[in-house]
């Protein structure tokens, strides 16, 4: 009985007038009309035992004397779900899975009743469930485990196909497993809740378990996949180059276009909130009024780059996701969860201008052709796909990168530049002290030699 008593005090004694459907978490909705009678206590307007149970009789169902054997119908009689026409992966009555059994700390038993496929009851218990690690308490939100441990139960390779837990065990990862109890269901919309005094990134900061599902066809960057829809995000209106944009908070149910991946990242990686010392303000970096940027918020500024300077599938007209670069090194599990490489990159990258041999496995060559940018053994034709490789002249990419061991980092920023074209960066050592673009090429004064000019080998 203690469990029921706790439920009584925690969830039951709540005014039905404050009912907020999960699809409208921000605006309390009136109690929807009941498909079957769900009487509230007339005097106190409360959820009672008899709201869900019929003391005398249940036709069919699981023998729990519920007013409806269909637990989802029981719950959705009061809680609105975002999309019933194309249900979330977890709520699909035909493909949704059943809770696999006690693991990652909880003792909640395996759900064996196959009629509960896709039911709320695989993650929630109407009465709550005891938190093994905190005697006398239930897990929050009537869940059967806390935070990522709930998700790991299925997303460790079985029954869900992708082993996400392996990603979070890697050296560079979102700190999902590092903190508990920082995330709350009421934190949305308040920037300080994501800032330096409460830094965190739980699964539910990036995913909504009631909305997430696979895409029938892959969206085009920066449009968000269905897997990250239904979570709050930060939209931007860009001003002058190098300045922070105007921010608009968009709640979980706000589908105002665009619904973009970068807006999710900006919830924690822009000046909308506070970030650790030294971290870029990514919203300033990707401002589309900057002279150059990787095409995250929109198309880039250098659209006539020869298509052959890109690896097959990429070209200058394309847009990129943050997670085209920041992703698991194991390409079979998508998402910026964790990676064996620093900066949570899909491929390795050394953020230093120091002289070294650039390898074909590095981050940039996921999209830019290694043979064009970092090889001298390539033909003049292949080298010439880059404008900074004038055939017959030892001055361009291949000369610097291979012969002089100058890595991309010495001359380029990985994200953008708010003052220079071509992602050119000044002030790094070794690197460029200054750079000026001209109609036919450009000139620079590097830390390595005196001022030099170059000519481009095809029109910009």
Cβ proximity to ligand HEC, 255 vs 352, nearer residue: 352
Complete DSSP assignment for 137-194: -BPGGGBSS-HHHHHHTTSBSSSSSSBHHHHTTSSEE-GGGT-SS---TT-TT-GGGG
Q: State the DSSP code for 389.
A: -
Smallest separation (angstroms) from ligand HEC to the CB of 254: 15
Report the run of H or E that residue 445 belongs to, with start and end.
Answer: strand 441-446
Q: Helical H runs in 58-113? A: 71-76
String of b and e for 88-110 (b: at least 16 CB within 10 Å)?
bbbbeeeebbbbeeebebbebee
Smallest separation (angstroms) from ligand HEC to the CB of 450: 14
Residue nearest to ligand HEC (CB): 300
Smallest separation (angstroms) from ligand HEC to the CB of 93: 11
Complete DSSP assignment for 239-266: -STTSPPEEEEE-TT--PSP-BHHHHHH
Q: Helical H runs in 270-321? A: 282-285
SS3 for 421? Answer: helix
Locate 417 and state its tokens. Answer: 């530049």
Cβ proximity to ligand HEC, 122 vs 287, nearer residue: 122
Smallest separation (angstroms) from ligand HEC to the CB of 240: 18
For 405, counting Cβ atoms within 10 Å of its Cβ (0-12 exposed, 13-18 middle, 19+ buried), the class is: middle
What's the length of the chain? Answer: 460
Cβ proximity to ligand HEC, 170 vs 318, nearer residue: 318
Smallest separation (angstroms) from ligand HEC to the CB of 135: 19
Contact predicate 349/343, CB 8 Å: yes
Smallest separation (angstroms) from ligand HEC to the CB of 335: 3
Smallest separation (angstroms) from ligand HEC to the CB of 102: 13
Smallest separation (angstroms) from ligand HEC to the CB of 34: 8
Contact predicate 124/142, CB 8 Å: yes
Contact predicate 186/179, CB 8 Å: no
Contact predicate 251/232, CB 8 Å: yes
Locate 365 and state its tokens. Answer: 């060559």
SS3 for 64? Answer: coil
Smallest separation (angstroms) from ligand HEC to the CB of 182: 9
Cβ neighbours, 10 Å, residue 414: 18
Pairing type for strands 338-339 and 441-446 reads: unpaired
Cβ proximity to ligand HEC, 109 vs 239, nearer residue: 109
Smallest separation (angstroms) from ligand HEC to the CB of 163: 9
Whole-angstrom Cα Rg for the chain: 27
Long-range CB contacts for residues 177-184, cutoff 8 Å, separation at least 24: 177/148, 180/146, 180/147, 183/147
Cβ proximity to ligand HEC, 255 vs 434, nearer residue: 434
Smallest separation (angstroms) from ligand HEC to the CB of 311: 8
Report the run of H or E that residue 443 belongs to, with start and end.
Answer: strand 441-446
Smallest separation (angstroms) from ligand HEC to the CB of 204: 4
Residues 290 and 315: their CA atoms lie apart, in Å, by 20
């Amino acid at each position: 009985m203690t469990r029921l008593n706790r439920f009584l005090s925690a969830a039951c004694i709540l005014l039905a007038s404050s009912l907020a459907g999960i699809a409208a978490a921000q605006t309390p909705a009136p109690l929807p009309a009941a498909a079957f009678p769900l009487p509230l206590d007339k005097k106190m307007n409360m959820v009672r035992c008899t709201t869900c149970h019929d003391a005398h009789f249940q036709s069919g169902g699981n023998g729990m004397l519920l007013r409806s054997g269909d637990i989802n119908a029981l719950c959705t009689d009061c809680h609105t779900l975002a999309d019933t026409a194309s249900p979330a992966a977890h709520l699909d009555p035909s493909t949704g899975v059943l809770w696999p059994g006690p693991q990652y700390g909880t003792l909640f038993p395996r759900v064996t009743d196959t009629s509960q496929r896709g039911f709320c009851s695989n993650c929630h218990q109407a009465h709550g469930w005891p938190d093994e690690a905190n005697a006398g308490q239930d897990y929050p939100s009537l869940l059967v485990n806390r935070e990522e441990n709930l998700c790991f139960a299925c997303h460790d390779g079985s029954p869900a196909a992708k082993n996400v837990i392996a990603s979070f065990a890697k050296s560079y990862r979102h700190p999902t497993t590092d903190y508990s109890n920082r995330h709350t269901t009421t934190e949305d919309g308040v920037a300080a809740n994501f800032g330096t005094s409460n830094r965190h990134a739980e699964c539910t900061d990036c995913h909504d378990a009631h909305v997430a599902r696979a895409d029938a066809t892959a969206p085009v960057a920066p449009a968000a996949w269905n897997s990250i829809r239904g979570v709050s995000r930060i939209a931007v209106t860009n001003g002058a180059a190098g300045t922070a944009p105007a921010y608009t908070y968009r709640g979980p149910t706000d589908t105002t276009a665009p619904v973009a991946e970068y807006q999710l990242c900006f919830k924690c990686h822009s000046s909308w909130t506070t970030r650790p010392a030294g971290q870029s303000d990514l919203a300033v970096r990707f401002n589309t009024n900057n002279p150059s940027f990787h095409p995250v918020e929109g198309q880039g500024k250098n659209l006539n780059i020869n298509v052959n300077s890109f690896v097959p599938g990429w070209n200058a007209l394309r847009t990129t996701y943050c997670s085209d670069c920041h992703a698991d090194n194991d390409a079979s599990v998508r998402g910026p969860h964790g990676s064996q490489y620093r900066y949570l990159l899909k491929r390795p990258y050394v953020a230093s201008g120091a002289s070294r041999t650039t390898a074909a496995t590095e981050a940039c060559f996921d999209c830019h052709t290694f043979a064009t940018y970092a090889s001298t053994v390539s033909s003049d034709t292949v080298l010439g796909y880059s404008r900074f490789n004038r055939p017959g002249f030892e001055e361009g990419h291949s000369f610097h990168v291979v012969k002089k061991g100058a890595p991309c980092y010495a001359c380029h920023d990985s994200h953008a530049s708010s003052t220079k074209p071509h992602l050119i960066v000044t002030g790094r050592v070794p690197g460029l002290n200054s750079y000026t673009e001209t109609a036919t090429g450009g000139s620079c004064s590097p830390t390595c030699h005196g001022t030099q000019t170059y000519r481009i080998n095809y029109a910009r």
